[in-house]
Amino acid sequence: MTETLRIGMVGYAFMGAAHSHAWRTAPRFFDLPLGIGMTALAGRDSERVTAAAAKLGWDSVETDWRRLVERDDIDLVDICVPGNLHAEIAIAALEAGKHVLCEKPLANSVEEAERMTEAAEAAKANGVLAMCGFSYRRTPALSLAKRLVDSGALGEIRHVRAQYLQDWLTDENAPLTWRLDKDKSGSGSLGDIGAHIIDAAQWIGGADITGVSAILETFVKERPVGGDFVGLGGHGGTDGPKGPVTVDDAAVFTARFGNNAIGVFEATRFALGRKNAMRLELNGSKASLAFDFEDMNSLWFYDSADGPNSGFRKIQATEPEHPYTGNWWPVGHGLGYEHGFTHQVVDLVNAIGAGEQPTPSFGDALQVQKVLAAVEASAADESRWTAV
Amino acid sequence: MTETLRIGMVGYAFMGAAHSHAWRTAPRFFDLPLGIGMTALAGRDSERVTAAAAKLGWDSVETDWRRLVERDDIDLVDICVPGNLHAEIAIAALEAGKHVLCEKPLANSVEEAERMTEAAEAAKANGVLAMCGFSYRRTPALSLAKRLVDSGALGEIRHVRAQYLQDWLTDENAPLTWRLDKDKSGSGSLGDIGAHIIDAAQWIGGADITGVSAILETFVKERPVGGDFVGLGGHGGTDGPKGPVTVDDAAVFTARFGNNAIGVFEATRFALGRKNAMRLELNGSKASLAFDFEDMNSLWFYDSADGPNSGFRKIQATEPEHPYTGNWWPVGHGLGYEHGFTHQVVDLVNAIGAGEQPTPSFGDALQVQKVLAAVEASAADESRWTAV
Amino acid sequence: MTETLRIGMVGYAFMGAAHSHAWRTAPRFFDLPLGIGMTALAGRDSERVTAAAAKLGWDSVETDWRRLVERDDIDLVDICVPGNLHAEIAIAALEAGKHVLCEKPLANSVEEAERMTEAAEAAKANGVLAMCGFSYRRTPALSLAKRLVDSGALGEIRHVRAQYLQDWLTDENAPLTWRLDKDKSGSGSLGDIGAHIIDAAQWIGGADITGVSAILETFVKERPVGGDFVGLGGHGGTDGPKGPVTVDDAAVFTARFGNNAIGVFEATRFALGRKNAMRLELNGSKASLAFDFEDMNSLWFYDSADGPNSGFRKIQATEPEHPYTGNWWPVGHGLGYEHGFTHQVVDLVNAIGAGEQPTPSFGDALQVQKVLAAVEASAADESRWTAV
Amino acid sequence: MTETLRIGMVGYAFMGAAHSHAWRTAPRFFDLPLGIGMTALAGRDSERVTAAAAKLGWDSVETDWRRLVERDDIDLVDICVPGNLHAEIAIAALEAGKHVLCEKPLANSVEEAERMTEAAEAAKANGVLAMCGFSYRRTPALSLAKRLVDSGALGEIRHVRAQYLQDWLTDENAPLTWRLDKDKSGSGSLGDIGAHIIDAAQWIGGADITGVSAILETFVKERPVGGDFVGLGGHGGTDGPKGPVTVDDAAVFTARFGNNAIGVFEATRFALGRKNAMRLELNGSKASLAFDFEDMNSLWFYDSADGPNSGFRKIQATEPEHPYTGNWWPVGHGLGYEHGFTHQVVDLVNAIGAGEQPTPSFGDALQVQKVLAAVEASAADESRWTAV
């Protein structure tokens, strides 16, 4: 009889829905070493968390995450709340002997991320494991990109070109949500979407960023104070009071990597017409790779070995040989955004089953946090070159 | 307290997995008038159906679909087996007072489809509803296409250009599965994938096909006899015995529609490099639409009203205003193949809740069947023009 | 001292401008065995032909093509007038010992094309050469496609998918030009643009069409009688008198080839939003090719030998190793529409210099003419299968 | 009788061929106020310049550009030699009363560019005009982009995203040509291709760059000493002696503009697979624009006014209403790289005919030069923010 991994999740907005779907779906398409129990959902508002649990399929609720962490029938705590709460919850859960899956960015500061990493390393000695949720790593096309780089197909990497372009703040009257409040979110585009391309570039390219020169910009300085807005975007009305936007609307920076590649990064919520253009291109001495999440099932691969008839190949990353996709549909039947979360659960449960460290570890996520901090420091000092 | 719709499903291969996911997922993202009970799964082999039920999440099993149809605790029968079994199961279920969802094509012959349609109409008088599973209708981009045509945006439609291109039979040693056996599948590319583009073209364009001139071709006449192959494609080995392919590898035909448009259709499993290119383009007097399932979250729309700066717009069909997508993720976070099935369940349960006919009805699917028959008749008589 | 090939051209509209540019430009980028003399331009209206000659760079004019054919200082007659005049001019020129370049389609009937072919064969015995101007053969990406097929890269060809989509007649008040008058143009979309895809499909695929089943359609039956319109498209006003459109607006047909491939063809001027989408795709047992003139510098190539990471490669057909492009700009610096005409001149002059038959010969063009005739016969008889 | 503008051109390599084609072709497709005389070509090697003049169509030769400048029968000097010679030739020509067309970048230093600008302004007082050859401005799609921005369609511009990606130096044994020698070329990717995107971004966006933070990188430090290489790329052999590369292989920088937009720029010859990807994207508060020279006849335009069905429109910039294209072929019949040069001649001759300043003036090009200098200064000082 398979043992069951009992999950307690904190938060039930956008990320909570994605994670719930993943816990529910993973065992239906993949053979896992442990069963999945969607045991408890925590949220502050009793009525709303009860409704969310019913909708999302959780067996019970808690109105205080501390209670969740204390429960004996919880094996893993899944953290889906704004970044200002990550450190406290994660450290408490780890100290209580619960495995932890924590949404990205790991924390709102390097100091918090360092404490979390220390807690994770201490817990690991006791067989308790922690993972940070950079779910884009589990998009099959990006997993395939990683595999190609690891195989040496690209040769020496010279250029990294990374963009995460959205446009949902272009409307100057989009409401002031928690994502625009530095106290809760830590930063704006930088931590929310910039963190994804930093992680992807370092992970796929196989080298850390060693220094940056950055600009942060807030185009719209104040916005309508919203009510209870949980999604992205929307229109907040023009009559009511406004409050200050305390985070960046856009972050752009140049970078150097440990493998001598140079990089260009851009994260913005003001690229009108670009909805979720999480893009990454690597140019090596032998081959190149390009990806755009707006066409998420394709990986473009240029192999100079193809000679004069070389060209970027549009690989549909849906072959049985490709990462994850053999467990889904026939080739060409594309996957969607949420599959990254499902694959994240698969890899996490497999790691727990095997007693091995899942990736990205909190340490990996701490490295991203250090890049975020370097970007902020550089931007605050006239784009001065800042080592990570 | 919400009443529960108790489902019994027959078959658990490719389509069974897709339908199971849909029944499981629909209530988590959409507000439905009825709860969903995944009550029983039927299949002939006791061991295998039991394993499938566990994996896919069904509460009980039957080894004879007749038992399923008789059970009092089943409200709806979902038919996911090869086409030769559709008529018998559907008619029995309808007569037993069960709602029916039947995979496409509706049947292996017009005669069967007519009997099924009669049964559906008789059952409807008793409040029992039947639907055929042309799931591509529920791809948001194609639903949006339908909405645009219905709004009159295209004007008078002149051209329909439809292709369904796959390549999984290009390998001459791909095994002889049930899909290549006329007795089970009725036809080859024509019914399997051609049926989808016929349905989509008629539904979106708003007019039926009135006549066709067709070619059917079987490029590879015999193939290795496979064992127990349930997916698509694969390589069956070259040493063993071979059996005859009794269906078409490719179907191409010209067509006329009731609205005076002319059409070109092509369905094949030999379009090397095209994995699941279900494509549709409509050219009207005022605007045009184009879609390719290999980029399933986009709808291309050309509006001549844009003047000299007109151009095909790549609409990301993921806006809150677009069909279905508001219940999922933020804009630009694409959906996958299986969402069509989830939306199909949503629409079916809503129709049952409201006591209204879901679409496509068996009558709608019968019309597709008549086109398939006309294509076969034309191809068998040197492409003679054949009225539908 | 290089000998000079002295050209006399008949006609100076769209095609005349393209040919003039080609004669002027070819020797500047390619080493030719003969110099080029732009000796005389013929047209009926003295004033207009004189102005055209000055503009386009011709040294003298004639107001009767017969005079041009008789001139001793003309070595080659280039025919750029509507199809109803091709046979008479070409035969007279060949009989007068002039080489001939004749625009496509070769003629307005098979009978004319046969007489022209006979004249060309008779002339060839005297060292006088004739070529038909299917200029798209000289688009580098299509020349590269031909080279790949000839190399055996595609294996056995199963599918041909050819479209030539334009939209300049979508406006119901576009004027009634010579291209819509059967007496002058022979046919509509079929001969004007359908001829190009027929020629390209047969030439690149390496097999002739053996039979067809076709629909011809005229969506707009009458149009404003224009004045002196020489371009495409435009808006002819709604108040004046109208005359009948005597040609097809669209031609669609299925086909079989001598190599057992099956084909689908579509030529139309009503595909709103498609401006010059001359498209060709070939699917073989080993590889596939795809081309769209709207992105004319790219050839898409799918090679199954690339394994699970195969995908359509976007080859930029601008490498030094590719046909023609080494004489132009560095890689990635694309060519335009007129380069096909320049390359046509290059190949023709090289053939004349070497005393060899240029391609396509009149015989090759006659084969296209026979396909056009079969399409018309099939369409006139309810899409009956018609052998070529 | 139309007066003739008599041209003397210096240099006959890649740019010389492009300019010759432009002088020859412009009057054949456009009505110009002056005739064009291709009067003299200058180059140091008598034999080679004589052969080039015959090939490219120049009436006479000079082996010293100073002689060309002195000739009475020359009205305009066209400078197509490496940047180290621009200042001396241009100033001498202007002082001799000749109009000047000078290739970009204007010079190898700000000091030279300033002297050239002074000379141009002094000459202008005498009716003598100077223009710098940023030919990409005359690509129709980019001219259309400029027109759209000028119309206010974009609203307030927030982001500029510019890349010029080539790959012809990826091969470590590509030869050491003049383009890799700082004494001749001034800089590497920065001045050669970076200058184009700087000019395009400032011109189309309508605002100058006010400051930058930059990285310059030379990936391959030494290369085979070539012989007489005039093109791009190639393979120089591995056995012979090597010399130092004294310019940048890649230049990346962030920027701020006078209109508060922020920009990211990247110019490289090491982006394997990107052949001539001169790309520009502008995101405004109301609309966005995107362009890639590898698909040079298209402009992508996103207009938020299109509402939920907005999407990037692929405008084929070949309509009669679009800049320049009405003088060429019907819509959809694309233009090539060299047309930018032809249009440059058209605009220059029209300006001379009207006695008006052509653009870009030397002053405009000086501004680009200042940006190049700021990039170099920033890169030399650890990416320090550097005002322009």
Nearest residue on chain B to C381, alpha-carbon basis: B385
Q: In the structure, what pLDDT confidence band is assigned to residue B238 with cuts at 50, 70 and 90?
A: low
Q: Is A310 on the interface with C (CB under 8 A)?
A: yes
Q: Which residues of chain A lie closer than 8 angstroms to D215, CB-CB?
A: 213, 254, 256, 262
The answer to whether C194 faces chain B, any CB pair under 8 Å, is no
Average pLDDT over residues D336-348: 98
The answer to whether the bond into A360 is cis (omega within 30° of 0) is: yes
Least confident of A31-35, A184-188, D237-241, D286-290: D237-241
Q: Which of C182, C163, C170 is nearest to C293 (CA)?
A: C163
User: B231 CA to chain A: closest CA distance, Å?
Assistant: 7
C140-150 vs C339-354: helix axis angle to the nearest 10?
A: 60
B150 touches chain D (CB under 8 A): no
Among C311, C312, C319, whose Cβ lies nearest the Cβ of A308? C319
Q: How far apart are CA B61 and CA B52, in angstroms?
A: 9
Q: What mean pLDDT do residues A171-178 have? A: 90
Give tens-digit pLDDT for D123-182. Answer: 999 999 999 999 999 999 999 999 999 999 999 999 999 999 999 999 999 999 888 999
Whether the CB of A295 is below 8 Å from some CB of chain C: the reply is no
Inspect the interface and report whether the beta carbons of C385 and B384 lie closer than 8 Å.
Answer: yes
Instruction: For residue D300, give how far its alpha carbon lies from the nearest alpha carbon of chain C (Å).
Output: 14
Name residues whose C-beta falls within 8 Å of residue C284's C-beta, 6 or more positions apart in sequence.
Answer: B272, C149, C153, C154, C155, C156, C157, C158
Whole-number percent of chain C with pLDDT over 70: 96
Residues of chain C found within 8 Å of residue B307, distances taken between Cβ atoms: none
Cross-chain Cβ contact C271/B159 below 8 Å: yes
Task: Report the alpha-carbon distance of residue A85 to residue D335 in Å, rounded.
Answer: 57
pLDDT of residue B153: 98
Q: What is the predicted pLDDT for the residue at C239? A: 72
Judged by CB atoms closer than 8 Å, whether chains meet at D285 and A312 is answered as no
Say if residue C344's pLDDT is above 90.
Answer: yes
Testing the interface with C: which of D278, D293, D333 to mutate, by most C Cβ within 10 A?
D333
pLDDT digits (tens, 9 = 90+) for D240-285: 899 999 999 999 999 999 999 999 999 999 999 999 999 999 999 9
Of C175-179, C332-336, C360-364, D153-157, where does mean pLDDT reach its minimum? C175-179
CB contact under 8 A, B306 and D321: no
How far is residue B272's CA from residue C159's CA, in Å, rounded to a whole number?
A: 9
Query: Does pLDDT of C210 surpass 80?
Result: yes
Nearest CA in chain B to C383: B385
pLDDT of residue C234: 62
Contacts of A256 in chain D (CB under 8 A): 215
pLDDT at position A178 is 87
pLDDT at B228: 47
Six token digits for residue A73: 């029938």
Mean pLDDT of D364-373: 98
CA distance A293 to chain B (A): 8
Mean pLDDT of A323-334: 96
Residues 326-385 of D with CB under 8 A from A: 382-385
Chain D residues inside the 8 Å CB shell of B320: 308
pLDDT band (50, 70, 90) for residue A208: very high
Instruction: Answer yes or no: do D272 and A286 touch at CB < 8 A.
Output: yes
Please state, in angstroms and rounded to a whole number, the distance separating the CA atoms of residues D225 and D228. 10
CB B99 within 8 A of CB B124: no
What residue type is B25 in one-letter code? T
SS3 labels along B100-139: EEEECCCCCCHHHHHHHHHHHHHHHCCCCCEEEECHHHHC
pLDDT tier for residue B229 given thresholds of 50, 70 and 90: very low
Interface of B with A in 204-263 (CB under 8 A): 231-233
In C107-218, which ranges are continuous DSSP H helix? 110-124, 140-150, 182-185, 189, 195-205
Mean pLDDT across the stretch A100-106? 97
Confidence of residue B234 (pLDDT cuts 50, 70, 90): low
Of B254, B271, B304, the CB nearest to C383: B254
Contacts of D309 in chain B (CB under 8 A): 144, 148, 301, 313, 315
Instruction: Look at residue C1 in the predicted model and tell me its pLDDT.
Output: 52
Q: Is the pLDDT of residue C230 over 90?
A: no
Residues 6+ apart with CB under 8 A from C25: C338, C342, D21, D24, D25
Query: Is B291 at the interface with chain D, CB within 8 A?
Result: no
Residue C271 pLDDT > 70: yes
* Average pLDDT for B354-360: 98
Tens digits of residue pLDDT in D95-124: 999 999 999 999 999 999 999 999 999 999
Q: What is the per-residue pLDDT across C12-50, written as a single tens digit (0 to 9) for each? A: 999 999 999 999 999 999 999 999 999 999 999 999 999
pLDDT at C229 over 90: no
pLDDT the model gives residue C43? 96
Hey, are the CB atoms on C276 and D330 less than 8 Å from each other? yes
Cβ distance B180 to B189 under 8 Å? no
State the average pLDDT for chain D.
Answer: 95
* Interface contact C214-B254, CB threshold 8 A: yes
Contact D272 A288 (CB under 8 A): yes
Instruction: Look at the alpha carbons of B161, B166, B167, B173 in this order and tell me if their dihedral is positive or negative.
Output: negative
Indicate whether B112 pLDDT > 50. yes
| CA distance, residue C369 to nearest chain B CA (Å) | 22
C318 and D277 within 8 Å at the Cβ level: the answer is no
How close does chain D come to B305, measured CA to CA in Å? 11
Cα dist. D313→A253, C63, C276, D143, D299 in Å?
29, 47, 17, 17, 8
Pairwise CB contact (< 8 Å): C312 & A310: no
Q: Please give the residue of chain A at the shortest CA–CA distance from C317.
A: A309
Q: Is D14 on the interface with B (CB under 8 A)?
A: no
pLDDT of B230 reads 44
**Window C:29-68, CB contacts with D under 8 Å:** 29, 55-57
Highest mean pLDDT among A236-240, B235-239, B305-309, D211-215: D211-215
Bridge partner list, B316: B298
The Cα-based distances of B328 to A30, A336, B48, D278, D305 in angstroms read 23, 11, 34, 37, 25
* Residue A275 near chain B (CB below 8 Å): yes
pLDDT tops 90 at residue B88? yes
CA distance A361 to chain C (A): 29
Lowest mean pLDDT among B146-155, B170-179, D32-41: B170-179
Rounded to the nearest angstrom, the minimum Cα separation between B325 and chain A is: 12
> 10 Å Cβ neighbour count for B285?
18
| Mean pLDDT of all residues belonging to chain B | 95
The alpha-carbon gap from A326 to the nearest alpha carbon of chain B, in Å, equals 11
Residue given tokens 């057992």 in the structure block: C260
Name the residue facing D170 among A161, A285, A312 (closest C-beta). Answer: A285
ipTM surpasses cut 0.90: yes
Per-position b or e across B59-95, b if 16+ CB within 10 A of its CB: ebbbeebeebbebeebbbbbbbbbbbbbbbbbbbbbe
Burial label for A88, CB within 10 Å (0-12, 13-18, 19+), is: middle
Question: Chains touching chain B at 3 or more Cβ pairs under 8 angstroms?
Answer: A, C, D
For position D228, what pLDDT does the model report?
46
Name all domains of chain C by residue range, CATH numbers in brackets. 4-136 (3.40.50.720), 139-334+367-387 (3.30.360.10)
Which residue in B25, B29, B337 is closest to A334 by CB distance? B337
Q: In D, which residues are within 8 Å of B310 by CB distance?
A: 313, 315
Strand bridging mode D312-316 / B312-316: antiparallel
Backbone angles phi, psi at D83, to 5 degrees: -60, -25
Contacts of C330 in chain D (CB under 8 A): 14, 168, 231-233, 276
Which of A89-103, A233-247, C344-358 is predicted least confidently? A233-247
C237 CA to chain D: closest CA distance, Å? 18
The 10 Å Cβ neighbour count of residue B24 is 21
Nearest CA in chain A to D215: A254
Instruction: Name the neighbours of A, counting chains with at least 3 Cβ pairs within 8 A.
Output: B, C, D
**Mutate which of B216, B249, B272, B304 to test chain C, going by most C C-beta atoms within 10 A?**
B272
CA distance A127 to chain B (A): 29
Q: Among B333, B292, B330, which Cα is nearest to B314's?
A: B292
For C94-110, what is each residue's pLDDT tens digit? 999 999 999 999 999 99
Run of H or E residues at A350: helix A339-354
- Answer whether B321 sits within 8 Å of D315, measured CB to CB: no
How far B5 CA lies from chain C's nearest CA (Å)?
A: 42
Task: Please state, rounded to an integer, the average pLDDT across all residues of chain C.
Answer: 95
Asked if D86 is an interface residue toward chain C (Cβ–Cβ < 8 A), one would say: no
